[in-house]
């Protein structure tokens, strides 16, 4: 929604990559529905329905109980992160009063379609106890539930196409993350909250020092190639990113509460705002509460870790990471 208001050279690559992912996600949803109903002739399972939600594939309800449920919060947080880029893009939007509300109002429906529907389809056609998911390590595309679903259906060639889409998606996520992190650090430096040299912007509007800093930290990804500790490092980086989202969105909610309080104190009414949050201040209080509950759930998992919760985290990590790679820019 904001692409047409930003500089063309900043968004054309992201626009193309996002279109590829939107087509891939839409195509997978259609494939999943057909496969689940038994419409794929090469799939020996026939009609699948909800068999993977019952014995012997699943004990019913939450796998590994409440602790297994809590253990995936941090991974889900990582996968759902990124919608805040809509607000970040306001700084480079020619008409933020018009485009920001329009883009923000569509976030809910985009999350519902690209995240929730895809996860629902995956849960129907991919068994949660798959050896491919449980035996994976690092950030390997072979563990992608999208690829696993297509391979299980016996379709030739399409798994390679989806592997290519995942690779494109990773590049797209890196592109979005570079935009977000460099602009944020440059803004902090410009306000005196980071080293002053990071505030530099060249004549083309590029924050060169922050881009270099971001690329240096990006080199940490190569440590994942270590056969002995790569998976451990990947899990730590994933956890840091996921937990950071709880603090980010808790801060966003609190900032909204403080803003509305200051706005009212200054004698203004909400009718003057170009965009109002659907649930107002109470929605932000609820957001803070839910973020706090998720943080406490991670403390619980850390204090009472079990082998079962590790297996659940491993399996869910690849499902949600693959989904995040495939859908993130579609939300922005």
Q: What's 237-285 look like in SS3?
A: HHHHHHHHHHHHHHHHHHHHHHHHHHHHHCCCCHHHCCCCCCCHHHHHH
Q: What pLDDT is stored for residue 305 in this prediction? A: 63
- The first and second tokens of residue 145, run together, are 């539930």
The three-state DSSP-derived secondary structure of 76-115 is HHHHHCCCCHHHHHHHHCCCHHHHHHHHHHCHHHHHHHHH
Q: What pLDDT is stored for residue 162 in this prediction? A: 85
Q: What pLDDT is stored for residue 61 in this prediction? A: 61
Q: Which residues of 122-133 are buried (b: 16+ CB within 10 A; e: fewer)?
A: bbbbbbbebebb
Q: Check residue 55 and report its DSSP letter.
A: T
- For 32, the enclosing helix (H) or strand (E) is helix 8-36
- The first and second tokens of residue 309, run together, are 């919760």
Q: Residue 124: name the closest of 142, 145, 151, 144 by CA.
A: 145
Q: Cβ contacts of residue 201 below 8 Å, gap of 6+?
A: 186, 207, 208
Q: What pLDDT is stored for residue 169 in this prediction? A: 81
Low-confidence ranges of the chain (pLDDT < 70): 1-11, 59-62, 89-92, 134-143, 305-332
């Amino acid at each position: 929604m904001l692409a047409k208001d930003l500089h063309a050279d900043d968004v054309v690559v992201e626009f193309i990559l996002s279109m590829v992912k939107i087509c891939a996600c839409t195509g997978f949803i259609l494939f999943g529905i057909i496969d689940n109903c038994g419409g794929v002739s090469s799939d020996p399972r026939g009609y699948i329905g909800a068999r993977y939600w019952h014995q012997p594939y699943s004990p019913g309800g939450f796998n590994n109980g409440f602790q297994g449920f809590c253990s995936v919060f941090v991974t889900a947080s990582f996968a759902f992160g990124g919608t805040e880029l809509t607000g970040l893009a306001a700084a480079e939007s020619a008409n933020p009063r018009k485009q920001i509300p329009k883009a923000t109002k569509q976030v809910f429906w985009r999350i519902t379609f690209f995240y929730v529907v895809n996860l629902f389809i995956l849960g129907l056609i991919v068994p949660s106890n798959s050896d491919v998911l449980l035996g994976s390590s690092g950030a390997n595309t072979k563990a992608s539930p999208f690829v696993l679903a297509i391979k299980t259906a016996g379709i030739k060639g399409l798994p390679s196409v989806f592997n290519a889409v995942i690779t494109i998606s990773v590049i797209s996520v890196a592109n979005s993350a570079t935009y977000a992190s460099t602009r944020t650090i440059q803004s902090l430096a410009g306000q005196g909250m980071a080293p002053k040299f990071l505030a530099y912007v060249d004549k083309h509007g590029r924050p060169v020092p922050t881009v270099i800093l971001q690329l240096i930290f990006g080199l940490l990804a190569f440590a994942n190639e270590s056969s002995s500790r790569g998976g451990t490092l990947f899990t730590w980086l994933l956890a840091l990113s996921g937990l950071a989202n709880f603090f980010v969105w808790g801060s966003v909610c609190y900032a909204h509460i403080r803003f509305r309080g200051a706005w009212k104190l200054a004698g203004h009414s909400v009718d003057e705002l170009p965009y109002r949050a659907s649930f107002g201040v109470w929605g932000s209080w609820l957001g803070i509460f839910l973020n706090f509950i998720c943080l406490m759930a991670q403390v619980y998992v850390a204090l009472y870790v079990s082998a079962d919760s590790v297996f659940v985290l491993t399996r869910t990590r690849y499902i949600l990471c693959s989904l995040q790679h495939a859908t993130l820019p579609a939300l922005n």
